[in-house]
Amino acid sequence: MKNQFVIFSLFLFFIAMVGHAQEKQIQFIPENNIKVIDSEMETKLNLFPEYNNFKEARLYQKSDNSYVLEITYIENEDEIRIRKNLSQSELDDLRVKIQSLITTEMPALGLDQSGRANFLIGTTVLSLGYYGWAIPYIMNLDGSAAAGTYMLTAGLGFFIPYYATKESEVTKGMAQLSIGSGVIGLGHGAILYDLFVDPKTTTDEWGYTYTEPNYKALNLLMTVASLGELTAGYFYAKNNKVSEGRANSIVANAFWGAGYGVGASMMLYGDEFGEEEVSYDIPLLLGSIGGAIMGNSLANMQNLAPGDPTVMSNAGILGLMAGGTLLTYIEPNDIRTGTAIMLASTIGGHYLGWEAIKGYDFSNSTATYIGLGSLGGGVMGGGIALLTNSENEEVYSTLITGGAVIGFLITYNSLKSQAKIRTKTTSNLNWGIHPEGFFAGKTNKQYGTSIPFFTLNYKF
């Protein structure tokens, strides 16, 4: 009987130890990823006033879906740890209390600042790369005064937005749209200068009169437009809850739209395009604005993941390269024909890219790998052309473009399975490239089967 009692006691002890081992720490507030309430938070929230010298509190979930609140405090220089069992309803009440106190006492804790680092990197790079030297030029400074102003401006490009956003929401979408708009604003400022500012007329000491660009006005307009669009992009994204994927789509298509605008103008004016009365400015400006609107519309049609616009842009670049390769064979005599080919091939590339992202959520890293795959394939194609001593322009261009396309297809096909599938059938176009089919084709044919190197399916 005594032995049975000992065995039963050991069994209960074992069960208790297993139950304890299966506890896992969970967040007090999952949305804010708060896993520990430390003494600093407790001072502001006053959640556990009954414990003097409070140190920290942690929350655990047991295997039976009950919870344990573990509180650690100091008493007589000893660290004391107590554990309280909580039911689901008690945990819910605690979470409501914590969330309410955070809203009133620590509002910054509940903010989404996932994009703040990218935002600060962007403002710092813009300040180092442009604002820093543009401001001294606008102020007619030179020598040490110009160098000192550059350094001050470049430094303020970090510290001003750093403190301005210290307790503000900065999502990834806000960061991407803001910085992207700031970069695009530089181009818009240059366009406005070309449209509305006359060149500066100067007469030298010998009486010769000549005109030169008014660089001070140019830099002023570029700076003002960039800062204005950077700020506008920030608040537009904030007020409209713009996601990272939508922001990337707006920015990417604004750049593409500028190119499409120029292409459309070249189609319209033909050989007259680029002359004084037919400038690049209006097509660039209207094209970039139209592209931004299109990018936003695409995000309305499909919930874009952060890397989706990059995959589309990669496909657009391949289409552009394909059009250039075709021109080496055709060699059209007029600008309209060449432009039509380039526009059609680029639009086709973008369409294929749009089809390629349907049903998938591509991350930034995955999209980057696909872009690098295209680059690697194109470089290898160029290497093959050089190794074969080909001096034929058509062959050289074909190998580079073909290599880039194959590189895109290989990396896309190998990585798309890692992307989250949103729906089962959202795209009419499906393709795949299988390198193993090239090497194993003969072996498989012995058994009456073969692996296709490339597959292409379109559902009508």
Q: What is the pLDDT of residues 236-261, one digit of tens each?
A: 999 999 999 999 999 999 999 999 99
- Least confident range of 51-65, 159-173, 309-323: 51-65
Q: Residue with structure tokens 């929350």?
A: 59
144 and 220: one domain? Answer: yes
166 and 76: one domain? Answer: no
Asked if the structure places residue 323 within a domain, the reply is no
pLDDT (0 to 100) of residue 454: 56
161 and 185: one domain? Answer: yes
For the cut 60, the answer to whether the pLDDT of residue 163 exceeds it is yes
Q: Of 110, 144, 160, which marks where a domain is finished?
A: 110
230 and 131: one domain? Answer: yes
pLDDT (0 to 100) of residue 225: 98
**Mean per-residue pLDDT for 32-57?**
87
Distance CA 51, CA 49 (A): 5
* Torsional sign, CA 276, 281, 282, 283: positive
* Torsional sign, CA 170, 172, 174, 175: positive
Asked if the structure places residue 399 within a domain, the reply is no
In the DSSP assignment, the letter for residue 320 is H
Q: Of 184, 208, 242, which marks where a domain is finished?
A: 242
pLDDT (0 to 100) of residue 17: 46
Asked if the structure places residue 430 within a domain, the reply is no
117 and 106: one domain? Answer: no
Q: Which helix (H) or strand (E) holds 456?
A: strand 454-458
pLDDT (0 to 100) of residue 3: 55
For the cut 90, the answer to whether the pLDDT of residue 32 exceeds it is no
Residue 171 and residue 140 in contact, taking contact as beta carbons nearer than 8 Å:
no
Average pLDDT over the chain, rounded to an integer: 85
pLDDT (0 to 100) of residue 304: 94
51 and 158: one domain? Answer: no
Asked if the structure places residue 409 within a domain, the reply is no
- CA 75 from chain centre, in angstroms, equals 50
Distance CA 346, CA 339 (A): 11
Asked if the structure places residue 344 within a domain, the reply is no
pLDDT (0 to 100) of residue 1: 52
- Least confident range of 37-46, 218-227, 450-459: 450-459
For the cut 60, the answer to whether the pLDDT of residue 421 exceeds it is yes
49 and 123: one domain? Answer: no
Q: Residue with structure tokens 């996601």?
A: 243
145 and 87: one domain? Answer: no
For the cut 90, the answer to whether the pLDDT of residue 58 exceeds it is yes
- Structurally, the chain folds into a number of domains equal to 2
105 and 125: one domain? Answer: no
Asked if the structure places residue 366 within a domain, the reply is no
**Mean per-residue pLDDT for 228-243?**
96
Distance CA 33, CA 290 (A): 40
For 22, other C-beta atoms within 10 Å of its C-beta total: 12
Residue 420 and residue 364 in contact, taking contact as beta carbons nearer than 8 Å:
no
Asked if the structure places residue 247 within a domain, the reply is no
- Least confident range of 51-60, 124-133, 148-157, 284-293: 51-60
pLDDT (0 to 100) of residue 211: 80
For the cut 80, the answer to whether the pLDDT of residue 175 exceeds it is yes
Distance CA 180, CA 174 (A): 10
**Mean per-residue pLDDT for 406-416?**
95
| Distance in Å from the first CA to the final CA of the chain | 79
CA atoms within 13 A on the CB side of 218: 13
**Mean per-residue pLDDT for 1-17?**
49
For the cut 60, the answer to whether the pLDDT of residue 427 exceeds it is no
95 and 200: one domain? Answer: no
For the cut 70, the answer to whether the pLDDT of residue 361 exceeds it is yes
Residue 70 and residue 55 in contact, taking contact as beta carbons nearer than 8 Å:
no
Q: Of 110, 137, 158, which marks where a domain is finished?
A: 110
Q: Which long-range contacts (CB under 8 A, 24 or more apart) does 20-24 make?
A: 22/62, 22/63, 23/60, 23/61, 23/62, 23/63, 23/68, 24/60, 24/61
165 and 237: one domain? Answer: yes
81 and 118: one domain? Answer: no
Asked if the structure places residue 256 within a domain, the reply is no
Q: Answer with the residue of higher pLDDT: 117 or 450.
A: 117
> Which residues form the domain of 233?
113-242
Per-residue confidence band for 380, with pLDDT thresholds at 50, 70 and 90: very high
Residue 304 and residue 266 in contact, taking contact as beta carbons nearer than 8 Å:
no
